[in-house]
Structure 1
Amino acid sequence: MARDRSGARIDMVKVMNAVLDELKWRGLMANSTDEAALAEHLDAGPVTFYVGFDPTAPSLHIGHLVQLLVARVLQRNGHRPLMLVGGSTGLIGDPKETGERVMNPKETVSGWVRSIQRQVSRFVDFAGENPARMVNNLDWTGELNTLDFLRDIGKHFPVNRMLARDVVRTRLEEGISYTEFSYVLLQSFDYQQLFRTYGCTLQFGGSDQWGNITAGVELLRRSDGAHVHALATPLLTKADGTKFGKTESGTVWLDPQLTSPYAFHQFFLNAEDAKVIDYLRVFSERPRAEIEDLARQTAEAPQLRAAQRALADDVTAMVHSPADRDAAVAAAAALFGRSELADLSAEVLSSVVQELKAPELAAAGELPSVVDVLERTGVVASRSAGRRAIAEGGAYVNNQRVTDPDARLREEDLLHGRYVVVRRGKRTVGAASVIRG
């Protein structure tokens, strides 16, 4: 019997009837094999489900976060998660429309498996009455006999259906290897093994995986006579239709070594007004009433960016920690003169400087001039523009106004002995890292 946070027993019928409604309201459900049958299946009792992550990089990104949050919703409502990290499928790679994947060394993929398992484990509960379980498909494919695989699995896959998949049709003209062409067999085999071993009857993933997911459903129908279920989450986009989760500097990762908590917080803080409520429903666990109130505030006073602040705070605290969220908020405040830069730790300040693409300035003797720093950081377009900004009272070093056009940096201006932040006006900010020769 599931219990809520107070320890009271939950009426599972009422809860399970609400699961799909919550997923749909939060924008976490794009497709399902049979929604009515899935709802009935969820009503019938706790369901074991799985979601898979291939280790094609050392970290998951915010697109994967959508799947992790679906797993949280399902587990919170009494269902049992199997969190699969693909030690074998990661060696192959799902086919991409843009061309053949580069195969990574086995040792590299093995290290990525461990890294991603650590990330995944933070989002579901491995204790309690419906604990999550971590699984690795290398456990059942590593010693797989090729002839048995072709006889027992391959015979259930009509080639004409495999050729009809969108990604395969796209790649046929320029060529696709048998390795990537056959990826769908491996992912389907995962569903069969998890069904047989753990009684798993629901798989979900991104909508770009829908062909692979439904192939697993069909395999189980053909091989075991089983009726199992699948659902897919939508691809999140920005208002212009482009993919959400990319910045000028690249992918937004969950690993703080690849995307700092400050940069992560800033990414969500810059969400568009037109999409921020959609993102809140997906990425925040706030109740419906709070999100609807934030939608009202955004409509009435978008300049206050209340929804963006709530989104950035919630996601950063969940993916990193409340302390990292607080540090990111403090860094942004200090950067724009609302608090002291000197109060930021070296680690936080370093991430801010990195996000600002700070140049390194060599200083063998005396420190560079303020005008030089303003120009080198891109805060002004030229030295003359830098002198003009100082003369007009709009130039700052570490939030202190500079009044002398000939001023140079001082030793005490180097935060943590290295960093300096410059600003023109209220919003144009840059930073530099000074290297002493």
Structure 2
Amino acid sequence: MTVFEELKRRGLIAQMTHEDKIKEALENEQVTFYIGFDATADSLHVGHFLQLVVMRHLQLAGHKPVALLGTGTTMVGDPTGRTDMRQMLTPEEINHNAECFKKQMSKFIDFSDDKALIVKNGDWLLNLNYIDFLRDVGRYFSVNQMLTAESVKNRLERGLSFLEFNYMLMQSYDFLHLYQTMGCTMELGGDDQWSNILKGIDLVRRVEGEEVYGMTFTLLTTKEGKKMGKTAKGALWLDENKCSPYDFFQYWRNVSDDDVINCLKLITFLPIEEIEAMESWEGSQLNKAKEILAFEVTKMVHGEEKATEALGAARALFTANSDDANMPTTQLADSDFNDGQIGLLDLMVKTKLCPSKGEARRLVQQGGVSVDDVKVTDPAKVLTAQDFEKGHVIIKKGKKVFHKACK
């Protein structure tokens, strides 16, 4: 099976500009391709992870990835999928974020011996002359056509700044620059980037008279079409300081029955035949599939040792509700107690099990909270020194979320 067939069979490919030519190139040539990552945070998240998986599939097949860090485009901000303008970051913040991305990408992509490249588009975009750029690039863009792009059209009612309106030109220019300097002939990205990718392809054609290609891949969504990777604490980050390996593992262990097989196809490297054999699984077998998914993804992101620790912690909790050193833990300070006591609602907010006391109260009243394996239904419940006699209490939220609070 070729890499093209592998990507299609796993359901990773969403759209292509020239299917036959892309298939031919990926099966018979060494293709230099790129994916852009705007440096909007100091860590990659699970949405980026799917892109890294695609890059790795292609690299293993002998193709050359270029990871483009958007130190220039981040100065403008991609309006795609946004209801308002992105927060503007300083150049220092953007460059710091880009350096964090580089470290994380090196876990998945082999950058040794020129097998892959990392470049920053700020190196060429920030030095452009505005008038020259308008004459050399802007003249190829029709405002009428740009207004039909989803990333622009969806923002017109609420307002789209002229700053953001330029994003499409800058991303398109990236493709032209990488084609001219590195022989890059293919741009990849999430399916929400389709309009931007098409504009880059068109720019290369108009300026160089050459044909280049674009391919988007499936967004990581639930069966209902909702984007995955959002938790009660925010995005599912790849940095363990922002999301612990245990919490990362638990996210995938708790995906719905309807989504586990699709996730295995999209973001693991298990043989596709092995995953397809799981499609007939049901009941407790699906729990086994979820455990496999959680272990495989956590192993790629955090390493096998931490994946094994998270697996052991999860199994211990689900089989015996026992304590484990790898359970998410909050160390309480003396100031958190009032006369040696702390209210359960305060404790749930302190441990970030709930964002507010109001939500914690509703959860308790609905019977969704246990303390040391005893269900609590009274929101006025107060924990005393006696409850912390062993040094901690374990709070259980719902059926699958455990947290240790230590005194």
Fold conserved (TM > 0.5)?
Answer: yes
1:107 and 2:92 equivalent? Answer: yes
Which segment is superposed worse, 133-142 or 325-334?
Answer: 325-334
What is aligned with 1:149? 133
Specify which of 35, 56, 60 is matched with residue 76 of structure 1. 60
Q: Is 1:220 the counterpart of 2:196 in the alignment?
A: no
Q: Which segments of 5 or more consecutive residues in structure 2 lack a partner in the other structure?
A: 349-359, 376-382
1:332 corresponds to which of 306, 314, 319: 314
* 1:408 match: 386
Partner residue in 2 for 1:400: none
Match of 1:309 among 291, 295, 307: 291
TM-score of the superposition, structure 1-length normalised?
A: 0.80
Q: Which amino acid aligns with 2:306?
A: D
What is the 5 A alignment of 1:20-35? 20-35=4-19
Residue in structure 2 matched with residue 353 of structure 1 by the alignment: 329
Residues in 2 aligned to 1:358 and 1:330: alpha-carbon distance in whole angstroms: 25
Shift of 1:425: 11
Q: Per-residue deviation at 1:20?
A: 1.4
Could you tell me which amino acid in structure 2 is paired with residue 31 of structure 1?
A: Q
Residue equivalent to 2:146: 162
2:69 counterpart residue number: 85
Alpha-carbon separation, structure 1, partners of 2:373 and 2:397: 5
Partner deviation per Cα, 1:217-264 (whole Å, 9 max, x = no partner)? 000000000100110012222133221111222211111111111111
1:395 to 374, 390, 399: 374
Q: Deviations for 1:268-307, whole angstroms, at most 9, x for unmatched residues?
A: 00111111100000111010222123333x33x3466111
- CA distance in 2 between counterparts of 1:174 and 1:185 reads 21
Describe the SS at the equivalent of 1:200. Answer: coil
Matches within 5 A, 1:189-204: 189-204=173-188
1:36 counterpart residue number: 20
Q: Quick one: structure 1 residues 215 and 122, their matched pair in 2 at CA, closer, same or farther if it must change by over 3 Å?
A: same
- The 3 A distance-change label for structure 1 pair 195 and 376 is closer
What is the CA-CA distance between 1:314 and the residue it aligns to? 0.2
2:95 aligned partner, one-letter code: S
Aligned to 2:279: 295
Corresponding position of 1:119? 104
CA distance in 2, matches of 1:252, 1:360: 31
Helix, strand or coil at the partner of 1:93: coil
Aligned pair in 2 of structure 1 residues 430, 122: CA closer, same or farther (>3 Å)? closer
The answer to whether the 8 Å contact 1:271/1:308 transfers is yes
Deviation of the 1:317 alpha carbon: 0.4
Q: What does 1:224-239 align with in structure 2 at a 5 Å threshold? A: 224-239=208-223
Tell me if the contact between 1:210 and 1:232 (Cα under 8 Å) persists in the aligned partners. Answer: yes
**Which has the higher relative contact order, 1 or 2, with Cα contacts under 8 A spaced 6 or more apart?**
2
Structure 1 residues 432 and 316: CA distance shift in structure 2, 3 A: same
Q: Distance in 2 between matches of 1:166 and 1:262?
A: 37
C-alpha change, 1:373 and 1:336, in structure 2 (3 Å) is: farther
Q: Percent identity?
A: 39
Aligned equivalent of 2:301 = 319
Q: Over aligned residues, Cα RMSD in angstroms?
A: 3.2
AA matched with 2:245: P
Q: Distance in 1 between matches of 2:45 and 2:5?
A: 26
Instruction: Deviation per CA, 1:51-95: give whole Å up to 9, x if none.
Output: 110011111111111111110011110101111111101111101
Superposed displacement of residue 207, structure 1: 0.6
Amino acid at match of 2:88: M
C-alpha displacement at 1:175, in angstroms? 1.9
CA distance in 1, matches of 2:130, 2:119: 22
The letter for the 2-side match of 1:283 is I
Provide structure 1 residue ranges, at least 5 long, that are not aligned to the other structure.
1-14, 397-404
1:158 to 1:333, Cα distance in 2 relative to 1, 3 A? same
TM-score (norm 2): 0.85
Please point out which of 248, 261, 268 is paired with 2:245: 261
The answer to whether the 8 Å contact 2:34/2:65 transfers is yes
Contact 1:26 1:282 in 2 (8 A): yes
Shift of 1:183: 0.4
CA shift, 1:330, in A, is 2.4
Q: Is the 8 A contact 2:3 2:27 kept in 1?
A: no
Contact 1:358 1:431 in 2 (8 A): no
Cα–Cα, structure 1 residues 118 and 306, in superposed 2: closer, same or farther, change >3 Å? same
Checking the alignment, whether the CA contact within 8 Å between 1:47 and 1:202 is kept in structure 2 is yes
User: Helix, strand or coil for the counterpart of 1:83?
Assistant: strand
Contact 1:184 1:212 in 2 (8 A): yes
Is the alpha carbon distance of 1:304 and 1:51 closer, same or farther for their aligned partners in structure 2, counting shifts above 3 Å? closer
| Partner AA of 2:188 in structure 1 | F
- The number of aligned residues is 385
Q: Distance in 1 between matches of 2:300 and 2:35?
A: 19
Q: Structure 1, residues 353-383: CA drift from partner, whole Å, max 9, x if none?
A: 35xx9998845776x59xx76995579948x
Q: Aligned-pair distance for 1:427? A: 6.4
The answer to whether 1:244 aligns with 2:228 is: yes
1:61 matched residue in structure 2: 45
The 8 Å contact of residues 257 and 286 in structure 2, kept in 1 or not, is answered as no
Amino acid at match of 2:97: W
Deviates most, 264-273 or 173-182: 173-182
Contact 1:265–1:313, Cα closer than 8 Å, also in 2: yes
Give the match for residue 421 of structure 1.
394
Output the CA distance in 1 between the equivalents of 2:332 and 2:35. Answer: 39
2:333 and 2:307 mapped to 1: Cα distance?
26
